[in-house]
Amino acid sequence: MPRLAALVALSCTQAAPASAAAKIQRVVSPGGIEAWFVQDATVPLVAMQFAFTGGSSQDPAGKAGTGNLAADTLDEGAGDLDSKAYHERLERRAIQMNFSVTRDYFRGSLRMLKENRDEAFDLLRLALTSARFEAEPLERVRAQTLSSLRRESTTPGSIANERFWATAYEGHPYAQQPNGTLESVPKIEATDLKNYVRHVLAKDNLKVAVVGDVDAETVGKLLDRTFGALPAKSELTPIAKVDFAKTPQKFFVPLDVPQTTMLFGGAGIARNDPDFMAAYIVNHILGGGSLSSRLYHEVREKRGLVYSVSESLVWMNSSSLFFGSTATRADKANETVDTINAELKRMGDEGPTQQELDEAKSYLKGSQMLALDSSAKFAGALVQYQLDNLGIDYIERRGAIIDAVTLDDAKRVAKRIWSNGVLSVSVGRAPLADASATSSAATPPAKN
C-alpha cells in the first residue's frame, strides 16, 4: 500500500517555494527523457511528480481496479528488497513516495531531503522497473481494497458517484470505478499487475516535473537512472472519444441515512477548446467553490437548503464534463435539485454580469500562485500543464488569457454548457410527501 513516510520529519520544510516565481527550465537527459525543472534552494528538499498516460481506462475487461491495485502494491517490495525492507528504507530516510490512478493517468510522486536524494531515486527506480508483486503483500492490499469497497457500497457519496459515472458513460471505460468492484478485484492476479505495468509505464507516455534544491545536470542524470530502463514504447489500448449522456436525467437511490447526497453534471468542454478559459471563469462564478458563487448564494444563503455546494469542470482525454455535489435533508432534496437546475439554466440563458466577470478574473489571476504553496504542488501543476499541452510558458501567459475573455465570450460559453439540463443522482430517504411517486422510479443501490 502506498504510504507517505515520515510526514512529521518533513513538516518543517513546507515553506512556500520561491520557485513559484522562478524560471521553469526544460531539461532533457542524456538518454532523451524530458522534464520541466525549477531550481529552488529555499529549503534542502527535492520534489518530483510524474504521470504516465493510461490510468484505469487500461484495466483488462472484467478486472476493473487493476491499475489501482498495481499502484497500491508497486512499493510493496522491489528488486532484492521485500515489502518490509523496502518500507524500512523509505522510513529511515524520511522519503515520501506515492502512486495513484485516475481514469486517464498512472501518477507518482517522490519527495525527500536533499541528502537522501540518490537513495530516494534508486528506490523509485526499483519500484517502477522490478516490483515484486509477491503473494503476501498482494493479498494484504487486496483485502484492504475490498474492505474499502464494502464500506463504500453503503456510503451515499460513493453510491451516487458510481451511479453517476455508470450512467454518464455507459459502456465506456470511463463508466468503471478506478478502484474496481467487489466482483472484479478478487479476479486480479499478479500476472495482470505485471502486464499492466509493462504496457503502461513507458518512456513515450511519461511527463515529469522536478522542483527543489538540485541542479539541472544532476536532474538529467537522475532521470536516466530512474526511468531509463523502462520500455521505450507503451502498449496502450486506444480509448474512444465519448459524449456525456443525454440530459436531463434524474435518478433517486433509496438509502436510510440522515442526509440525502446529490451529484449533478453535464457535458463540459475540452481543455484545448478555445473557449475553455471563458468556461473556467463562468464555472467559478457559478459554483467554483467560493462563498460568493451563485449556487452558494441561491442554495445556501438565500434558502438555507444545504451547508455547502460546489461545481467544477472536469476534462479528460476522451470526454469532458461539469460536475457538482451537495447534501441536504431528505424533505429538502427535491427543492435543492430544482433550485440548482434553475440556477444553472439562468446562467445558460443569461450568462454572467460584467461585474461578476471582472471579479472572477481578478480572483483567478491572484489565486494561482497562492495555490502553488509547496514544491510538491508546484511540481504537480507543471506535470498537469504538460499533460494538457499548455506550453512551458503557460504560467506567464495565463493572466493575459484570462484578461482576453470578454462578456460576449462568457455568455456564449455559458449557453453552450449550462443550458442543456443535468444528470442528477440523489441517494437518501424518500421525502414523505412524494414517497409513493419516488419509489416507483427509484433504483436500488448498485451492487459491486
Cis peptide before 30 (omega within 30 of 0): no
Q: Are residues 124 and 171 in the same domain?
A: yes
Q: Are residues 85 and 218 in the same domain?
A: yes
The answer to whether 141 and 149 are in contact (CB under 8 A) is no
Interval 134-155 mean pLDDT:
97
Q: Are residues 218 and 150 in the same domain?
A: yes
Question: Three-state SS for 131?
Answer: strand
What are 420-448's pLDDT values in tens digits? 999 999 999 987 544 433 333 333 333 33
Residue 124 cell numbers, joined? 523509485
Q: How far is CA 72 from the centre of its chain?
A: 16
What are 14-25's pLDDT values in tens digits? 444 544 456 999
| Selection from 285, 291, 328, 316 nearest residue 424 by Cα | 328
147: Cβ contacts below 8 Å, ≥ 6 apart: none
Rounded CA separation 333/102 (Å): 30
377: Cβ contacts below 8 Å, ≥ 6 apart: 371
pLDDT at res. 311: 94
To the nearest 10 degrees (0 to 180), the angle between helices 135-152 and 190-200 is: 90
Residue 159 cell numbers, joined? 453510491
Q: Are residues 36 and 146 in the same domain?
A: yes
Q: How many C-beta neighbours within 10 Å does residue 439 have?
A: 11
pLDDT at res. 301: 81
207 found inside a domain: yes
Backbone angles phi, psi at 249, to 5 degrees: -140, 145
Q: Are residues 203 and 76 in the same domain?
A: yes
Read off the pLDDT band of 289 (50, 70, 90).
Answer: low
What's the mean per-residue pLDDT of the chain? 91
406 found inside a domain: yes
Q: Does residue 6 have a pLDDT over 70?
A: no
142 found inside a domain: yes
CA distances from 349 to 414, 416, 419 (A): 8, 10, 6
Backbone angles phi, psi at 339, to 5 degrees: -65, -40
Q: Are residues 197 and 293 in the same domain?
A: no
Q: Are residues 38 and 72 in the same domain?
A: yes
Rounded CA separation 133/21 (Å): 42
DSSP class of 81: B
Alpha-helix residue ranges (DSSP H) falling in 178-314:
190-200, 216-227, 276-287, 294-295
Residue 207 zone, left/alpha/beta (φ > 0; ψ -120 to 50; rest): beta
389 found inside a domain: yes
CA distances from 110 to 105, 126, 360 (A): 17, 13, 34
Question: Three-state SS for 288?
Answer: coil
232 found inside a domain: no
Number of domains in the chain: 2
| Selection from 262, 436, 252, 444 nearest residue 337 by Cα | 262
Rounded CA separation 358/360 (Å): 6
Question: Three-state SS for 132?
Answer: coil
Rounded CA separation 230/228 (Å): 6
pLDDT at res. 291: 76
Task: Give the H or E element holding residue 4.
Answer: strand 3-4
Give all strands of the β-sheet with 259-267 in edge-to-edge order.
Answer: 249-254, 423-428, 259-267, 320-329, 309-315
Q: Are residues 209 and 81 in the same domain?
A: yes
Rounded CA separation 433/61 (Å): 43
233 found inside a domain: no
The domain boundary residue, chosen from 194, 227, 260 = 227
Residue 114 cell numbers, joined? 536533499
* Domain range enclosing 384: 249-441
358 found inside a domain: yes
What CATH number is given to the structural domain containing 154? 3.30.830.10
pLDDT at res. 49: 98
285 found inside a domain: yes
Residue 41 cell numbers, joined? 534552494
Interval 178-204 mean pLDDT:
98
The more confidently predicted of residues 22 and 411 is 411
Residue 223 cell numbers, joined? 532521470
Q: Does residue 160 have a pLDDT over 80?
A: yes
Classify burial at 80, counting beta carbons within 10 Å of its beta carbon; exposed 0-12, middle 13-18, buried 19 or more.
Answer: exposed
Interval 150-155 mean pLDDT:
96
Residue 346 cell numbers, joined? 439562468
